[in-house]
Structure 1
Amino acid sequence: MKRLARRKSVDEAKPAALWMNTFADLMNLLLCFFVLLFAMSNVDEEKFNQIAASLSSSFSIFNGGQSSIGDGQLINMGVAQLNEFEQYFSNMGKTTEDTEGEEIEELKQFLTEANKVETDKMYDNISEMSTQYNLDNYLDIETDQTGGQYVLINISGSLLYDSGKAQLKSEAIPIFSKVGDILKTYKGYRISVIGHTDNVPVVSGVYRSNKELSAARAINAAEYLIDVKGINPANIEWIGRGEYDPIADNSTEAGRSKNRRIEIRIYNSLNTN
């Protein structure tokens, strides 16, 4: 009687399946282990931000790891959906030097506007105090027309000094004292006292030139502000400019009279240090 060969059962496990099951269990355990480690770990936010900033500066795409440009739509939603696409498109192809140049110009404009705002406020305040002290007939007050860094108080030299001399006249002391009271309200601000003369040469007296005469007048005015009015010497400077910065025509007596003057510049807080 012929026997049929025994058919192998399809459910019978192959020898290889035994180690594969063990390996799969091991992988699952390892995965759970790393998930637990990650769950218990703390992300260093500062280091993450530093890495994100480094990537941003290197690739010039995202700021701080963000996934969109500005407040617009995500990039993968299509360039046509960017709210500020024209701005980014206009910046394409610009070199680093071009971008830095634009940023410098914007910064200069911002500083100019900030100087102007603060200096205008100082001008209004000083003009008001000048009226309160009845000094309007003795002082010319204006702002710096180039950079808006200071308020300028212009005092006639003939009002403060005798011809060829550098000592303050006794009748000028009450007027100059009130000027010192105005300056005291700007404690800590940089103050510059500048002496000017006309172009008529010094022919006699203690001083050999207009430069020496103007410097001596500026020094005496500054010393009065320091010694009598209590201005901090660390915040005040004195300069003699002689005949080199005229504001009027030296060919006429009226012009020469305007050029003989003392200027006091009060710099705003942005230009004090």
Structure 2
Amino acid sequence: MSKKHRHEHHEEHADESWLLPYSDLMTLLLALFIVLYAVSSVNTSKLEQLSKAFKSAFSDGLSIFEASTIVQTGDVQSPKDGIKHLSPEGKSKAQLQQEEQQNLEKLQQQLQQYIKKNGLSSQLDTQLNQSELLITIRDNALFEPASAAVKPEARKLAVAIGQMLQQYNDYEVMVTGHTDNLPINTVEFPSNWELSSKRAINFMKILLENKAFDPRRFGSIGYGEYRPVESNNTDAGRAKNRRVEVSILRKYSDASTDKSAADSGAANSQ
């Protein structure tokens, strides 16, 4: 007699796979509510400041990164708004310009006193303008004709100038050489370009013997006969054109003023 096998009915469990997307949905809803709450409590003044910064960036032709430097605590203004922007030291550009002017005037006075004391008024000159303090040295005070070697007695002058400059060693200094239009053609100096460049370099090297200076702030250029200050038609004019210039460049100059001065100088030279 065969036995009847009874099949036990197992209880079937409900499908709970819907819980996973449901939990994800609830998480997203929670995140949404948090974002909405955060947006609702945004400081409108800060949002307006950010809007002004972007507007300034696109309207003034500045990049977003440049415009970000305009943003300051409590104020967001474009440069055209006339606000005095503060430096990291807390000084406005106008204050820095004033201090710089006072420093350069003091340095110019020291140079003029040295010139007067040593009877060098016919060989040295100083000029303070909107872009630099310019020290002009006649070539006969430094070099023999057609030579770039600094005279032994002229080294004292270069060292003295360096000592006066060292208290302002955070300025950029450019040394430039100039000649008259008389041609030169030697093995060492095929043209006035080489002569003026070598003279500028040799004078700069003496300045840099002063260890107070950072060589990265110095540079030299030779202009040959192409930057005359007087006509080359006379001996006196050619003598003034043969020179070495030491420029102490301003750090806080007004670009618009500099451009006007440069344009005026170019017009006067024509």
TM range (shorter): 0.5 to 0.7
- Opposite residue 120 of structure 1, the aligned amino acid is Q
The reply on whether 1:181 has 2:163 as its aligned counterpart is yes
Bigger radius of gyration, 1 or 2?
1
Counterpart in the other structure of 2:248: 266
* Cα distance per residue 1:143-202 (max 9 Å; x no partner): 23xxx2321111111110111111101121222221111111112221111111111110
- Asked if the contact 1:181/1:229 (under 8 Å) is kept, the reply is no
Given the alignment, which residue of 184, 188, 191 partners 1:209? 191
Please state how far the C-alpha of 1:54 moved relative to its aligned partner: 2.0
CA distance in 1, matches of 2:185, 2:61: 58
Counterpart in the other structure of 2:18: none
CA distance in 2, matches of 1:194, 1:246: 12
SS of structure 1 residue aligned to 2:208: helix
Given the alignment, which residue of 134, 157, 169 partners 1:152? 134
Alignment of 1:230-249 (within 5 A): 230-249=212-231
- Asked if the contact 2:100/2:252 (under 8 Å) is kept, the reply is no
CA distance in 2, matches of 1:106, 1:202: 55
Counterpart in the other structure of 2:145: 163
TM-score by length of 1: 0.58
Cα RMSD, aligned residues only: 3.5
Please state how far the C-alpha of 1:234 moved relative to its aligned partner: 1.3
- Opposite residue 125 of structure 2, the aligned amino acid is D
* Cα distance per residue 1:95-126 (max 9 Å; x no partner): x84899x955566x999967863453233212
Unpaired runs of 5+ residues, structure 1, are 1-42, 61-95
Unpaired runs of 5+ residues, structure 2, are 1-36, 53-57, 63-76, 86-91, 254-270
Rate the CA distance shift 1:206–1:150 in 2: closer, same or farther, 3 A.
same
Given the alignment, which residue of 111, 114, 119 partners 1:130? 111
- Asked if the contact 1:155/1:261 (under 8 Å) is kept, the reply is yes
CA distance in 1, matches of 2:237, 2:79: 41
- Asked if the contact 1:123/1:142 (under 8 Å) is kept, the reply is no
CA distance in 1, matches of 2:93, 2:184: 41
* Cα distance per residue 1:6-48 (max 9 Å; x no partner): xxxxxxxxxxxxxxxxxxxxxxxxxxxxxxxxxxxxx99xx74
Given the alignment, which residue of 117, 121, 124 partners 2:98? 117
- Asked if the contact 1:116/1:149 (under 8 Å) is kept, the reply is no
Please state how far the C-alpha of 1:217 moved relative to its aligned partner: 0.5
CA distance in 2, matches of 1:187, 1:98: 35
- Opposite residue 54 of structure 1, the aligned amino acid is L
CA distance in 2, matches of 1:128, 1:247: 23
Counterpart in the other structure of 1:52: 45
- Opposite residue 231 of structure 1, the aligned amino acid is F
- Asked if the contact 2:127/2:134 (under 8 Å) is kept, the reply is yes
CA distance in 2, matches of 1:56, 1:115: 27
Rate the CA distance shift 1:149–1:105 in 2: closer, same or farther, 3 A.
farther
CA distance in 2, matches of 1:99, 1:180: 41
Counterpart in the other structure of 1:140: 125
CA distance in 1, matches of 2:202, 2:215: 13
* Cα distance per residue 1:213-236 (max 9 Å; x no partner): 111011101111112565221111
Please state how far the C-alpha of 1:203 moved relative to its aligned partner: 3.0
- Opposite residue 238 of structure 1, the aligned amino acid is S
CA distance in 2, matches of 1:173, 1:56: 58
- Asked if the contact 1:161/1:167 (under 8 Å) is kept, the reply is yes
